[in-house]
């Protein structure tokens, strides 16, 4: 009697897929691999975009600091220029703070 044989449903489905459904199984695997690749690529792209934004903010902060240093350098350069002109052209000298209270009388 053929009717007394018992087959498990997963076994029957697996056997049918292997016999008659090789192309759909291959296509299903390709779709799943493609979906995982898209999700992974999107995640990495978002991480890189966030990192790029962080680097742009850091670059802007460094640019502002660099401009402030240039301004400070120019201000200090102007001071040393004034000091150089005072010593060379006007023959001015630095005052020693310890000798500041001594008055020379003639």
pLDDT at residue 63 in the model: 97
Domain assignments of the chain as residue spans, ordered by start: 21-90
pLDDT at residue 105 in the model: 54
Ranges under pLDDT 70 in the chain: 1-4, 99-106
SS3 104: coil
Q: Are 86 and 80 in contact (CB under 8 A)?
A: no
Q: How far apart are CA 20 and CA 11, in angstroms?
A: 14
93 CB contacts (<8 Å, ≥6 apart)?
87
pLDDT at residue 1 in the model: 42
The pTM score is 0.52
pLDDT at residue 101 in the model: 60
103 CB contacts (<8 Å, ≥6 apart)?
none
Q: How far apart are CA 95 and CA 18, in angstroms?
A: 101
């Amino acid at each position: 009697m053929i009717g007394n044989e018992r087959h498990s449903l997963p076994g029957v489905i697996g056997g049918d897929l292997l016999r008659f459904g090789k192309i759909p199984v291959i296509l299903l695997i390709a779709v799943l691999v493609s979906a995982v690749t898209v999700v992974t690529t999107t995640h990495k792209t978002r991480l890189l975009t966030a990192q790029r934004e962080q680097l742009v903010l850091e670059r802007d902060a460094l640019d502002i600091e660099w401009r402030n240093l240039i301004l400070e350098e120019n201000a200090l350069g102007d001071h040393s220029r004034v000091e150089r002109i005072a010593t060379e052209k006007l023959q001015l000298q630095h005052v020693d703070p310890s000798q500041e209270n001594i008055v020379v009388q003639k």
